[in-house]
Amino acid sequence: MIVSFRNQYQKSMISKFIASLKSFLIEVGEISYFAGRFFKEFLFPPYEFKEFLRQCYYIGNRSLFLVGVTGFIIGLVFTLQSRPTLQEFGAVSWMASMVSVSIIREIGPIITALICAGRIGSGIGAELGSMKVTEQIDAMEVSGTNPFKYLVITRILATTLMLPLLVIFGDVLAIYGSYLVENVKDNVSFQLYFNQVFNILEFSDIVPATIKTFFFGFAIGLIGCYKGYYCKKGTAGVGKAANAAVVYTSMLLFVIDFIAVFVTNIFYKM
């Protein structure tokens, strides 16, 4: 009897795993189809420039404060946490170089992208989800308007364009926050600190980090729009769409970041 129960349990676990894997692969296929539709619709007019500019303002301007405060605090905390270790090795003079390279290459882009995934991705998912539930998207289709161009393409383009600018803004404030700590601790001048920052940075540090932020922005807009555009009916579906947009986007950001670092390391070795 125990053996029979164990066999049934194993079979149920295997069937659940297969069902989960099948659901995951279907989700990946649908997102890929959604991305392919974006590129197909994007290449042909008409273009919704006014809605695109409005989304750029909404995504960029309204996220400046959150990104700026977060970046500034990251610079403060990272410097305060790293300083004791560098002091043990007598390498405090390398603080500016270490902080700038770490923030520009990795910490700034991924932290800003995760913040925007939580704020922008969930907002897009909830907005489009509520429009889907209240049948506004269906009404746009009936009236002859292409809702995909007006709602999806404008938002994905806006996130793709604005996220690199937000990352640059956050990086600058993070490095400035690091400078303030060094100024208080060792009375380091502004000119000396930023001379060390710009002396250590190279194009090989800045260019790959900037390029991957475009992919981060595209992923945030794509997943948010996908979850909202295909939201199931009901108010609960809107909440699920917003939550799923954040979770899926966060996972995808780490995958993109890993691929970007892997490819960059290959080029470094060449």
Ranges 52-56, 58-62, 156-160: which has the least confidence: 58-62
Model pLDDT, residue 162? 92
**Residues composing the chain:** 270
Model pLDDT, residue 207? 86
CA angle 250, 241, 247 (to 5 degrees): 15
Q: What is the mean pLDDT of residues 23-52?
A: 85
* The pLDDT of residue 156 is above 70: yes
Q: Are 114 and 253 in contact (CB under 8 A)?
A: yes
123 contact partners, CB below 8 Å, separation of at least 6: 224, 242
Q: What is the mean pLDDT of residues 8-17?
A: 72
Q: Are 125 and 221 in contact (CB under 8 A)?
A: no
Higher model confidence: residue 193 or residue 72? Answer: 72
- The beta strand positions in 71-160, using DSSP E, are none
Q: Which two tokens stand for residue 10?
A: 């194993």
- Hey, what long-range contacts does 258-263 have (CB within 8 A, 24 or more apart)? 260/208, 260/211, 260/212, 260/215, 261/106
CA distances from 227 to 63, 111, 113, 140, 155 (A): 21, 22, 18, 18, 13
Ranges 12-26, 156-170, 192-206, 244-258: which has the least confidence: 12-26
Q: Taking the model in full, what pTM does it have?
A: 0.88
Higher model confidence: residue 254 or residue 235? Answer: 254
Model pLDDT, residue 161? 93
Distance CA 24, CA 228 (A): 18
Distance CA 150, CA 156 (A): 11
Residue 167: other Cβ atoms inside 10 A:
27
CA distances from 44 to 13, 149, 216 (A): 48, 10, 24
Q: Which two tokens stand for residue 254?
A: 């780490």
Query: What percentage of residues in the chain have a pLDDT greater than 90?
Result: 21
Q: What is the mean pLDDT of residues 203-225?
A: 90
